[in-house]
């Protein structure tokens, strides 16, 4: 599905935007406890051989504290952006989210997790995961009991 349209690709972005719009209302009312944040990601497919590329915005995060796991078609990214010392500071505005994070990225194709590679540069974690190439050769499958074949033989 990497080359086709994924109808669910924008749900996470829409959820974040709704959280940004209504998050303050729910938090002030005591309805929701703050549990960290969800880093922003870009996911695309390219190359020959084809691969999935996931870029994660992790500026200010100690990369040694970041964990990556691949489970089937899911990429799990977890870690924490440390809180800043507030003593002696009077903040006018706070927009950089801090605390623990866990992000699950649903990939639109089967991947070869054993050959995944990750690099971190200038605050962006880049994960490249080769796609599984399914054998496109055609193989005729004999049907047992059909005319001209004998059970237990390959024709």
Q: How confident is the model at residue 32 (pLDDT cuts 50, 70, 90)?
A: very low
Residues 25 and 56 in one domain: no
Residues 49 and 106 in one domain: yes
Residues 26 and 79 in one domain: no
In whole numbers, what is the pLDDT of the chain averaged over residues?
A: 82
36-76 pLDDT, tens digit per residue, is 789 999 999 999 999 999 999 999 999 999 999 999 999 99
Report the distance separating Cα 142 and Cα 50, nearest Å. Answer: 33
Q: Name the β-bridge partners of 131.
A: 111
Domain hosting 114: range is 37-83+97-133
Residues 51 and 77 in one domain: yes
Q: Half-sphere exposure of residue 119, counting CA atoms within 13 Å on the CB side?
A: 4
**CA angle 67–69–72, rounded 5-degree value:** 165
Quick one: pLDDT at residue 4? 58
Number of domains in the chain: 2
**pTM (2 d.p.):** 0.66
Residues 45 and 120 in one domain: yes
In which element (H, E) is residue 28 found?
helix 11-28
> Are the beta carbons of 155 and 142 closer than 8 angstroms?
yes
Residues 57 and 123 in one domain: yes
């Amino acid at each position: 599905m990497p080359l086709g349209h994924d109808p669910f690709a924008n749900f996470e972005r829409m959820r974040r935007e709704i959280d940004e719009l209504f998050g303050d209302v729910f938090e002030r009312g005591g309805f929701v406890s703050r549990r960290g944040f969800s880093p922003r990601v870009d996911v695309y497919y390219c190359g020959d051989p084809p691969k999935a590329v996931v870029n994660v915005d992790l500026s200010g995060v100690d990369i040694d504290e970041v964990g990556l796991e691949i489970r089937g078609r899911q990429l799990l990214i977890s870690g924490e952006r440390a809180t800043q010392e507030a003593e002696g500071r009077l903040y006018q505005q706070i927009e950089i989210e801090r605390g623990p994070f866990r992000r699950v990225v649903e990939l639109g194709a089967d991947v070869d997790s054993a050959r995944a590679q990750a690099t971190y540069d200038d605050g962006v974690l880049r994960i490249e995961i080769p796609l599984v190439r399914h054998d496109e050769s055609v193989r005729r499958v004999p049907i047992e009991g059909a005319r001209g074949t004998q059970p237990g033989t390959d024709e």
